[in-house]
Amino acid sequence: MLEKYLNSRLQEKEILLMTHIVLGYPSFEDSFKIIEAMVAAGVDLMELQIPFSEPIADGPVILQANQKALAHGATVQKCFDFSRKIAQTFDIPFLFMTYYNILFKYGVERFAAAMAAGGLKGAIVPDLPPEEGREYLAAMQKYDLAPIFIFSPTTPDERMQYLASFGQGFIYCVARKGVTGVDTDFSRQLGEYLGRCRRATKLPLALGFGVKEKEDLDFLKGKADIAVVGSQTIRLVDNEGVGAVGEFIQNLR
């Protein structure tokens, strides 16, 4: 169970680290090298994004990575085959992150069954609210997978509690309105927002959108349980290559 794993890790660390990669970017071979470096550097769990043509929650950095992965031939089935290999090779939990159209076209229950068979632990589907996700929630429960739901700074307290009633594993708290890859102000206001999130759920809290340096993780200690790093790693791969990833992750600690 994902939540049990996270709580166990939190007995040993003040804050956990989750990273995000786009599968097939720059290539599946490079994706494997990136994951290998991240795990060796101490990442606690990882979200694997299935490329999609219209990733509405993602900013230009991750959008471009999605587009390039698709142009290089990434498919849903290749992502499933690759993630099975990853889950068998590395001893941390892996989650899928994607958009509902992928599940709809693949078949929701078929998608959940394939996730479970491949050793994945859950999924983040940012454009699927629980009101429209009955089939998805039933399939995730059937295959003992964690559906991860999202809070934002504009989510009312009552809505947070409602979303948390469907969530498992952890809650993903986005740091601000908008998309990934834009600077976030790590300030008192962010701390107050995380306090609201904490009051709404007993699940561990992950904070993403704008986390990119050690000072950000230090700020989040005691306020969130998991720091999520995504766009900054892709920028690093773009600018310095795959070999720079391991040192970057180590320095975040």
Catalytic residue ranges:
47, 58
Query: CA-CA distance, 102 to 158, in Å (whole number)?
Result: 30
- Amino acid identity of residue 179, one-letter, is V
Which ranges of the chain would DSSP assign to H, the alpha helix?
2-10, 28-40, 60-71, 76-89, 100-106, 108-117, 134-142, 157-164, 188-200, 214-220, 231-240, 245-252
Residue that has been written with the tokens 């001893």 in this structure: 91
Extract the tokens encoding 114.
Answer: 């394939």
At 41, list the tokens.
């550097």
Compute CA distances 56 → 53, 60, 81, 83, 96, whole Å.
9, 10, 25, 23, 16
Task: Write out the two tokens for 148.
Answer: 């991860």
Look up tokens 């992950």; give the residue.
206
Amino acid of residue 197: C
Contact criterion met (CB below 8 Å) for 111 and 139? yes
Contacts with 17 (C-beta within 8 Å, 6 or more apart), sequence order: 42, 43, 44, 217, 226, 227, 229, 249, 252, 253
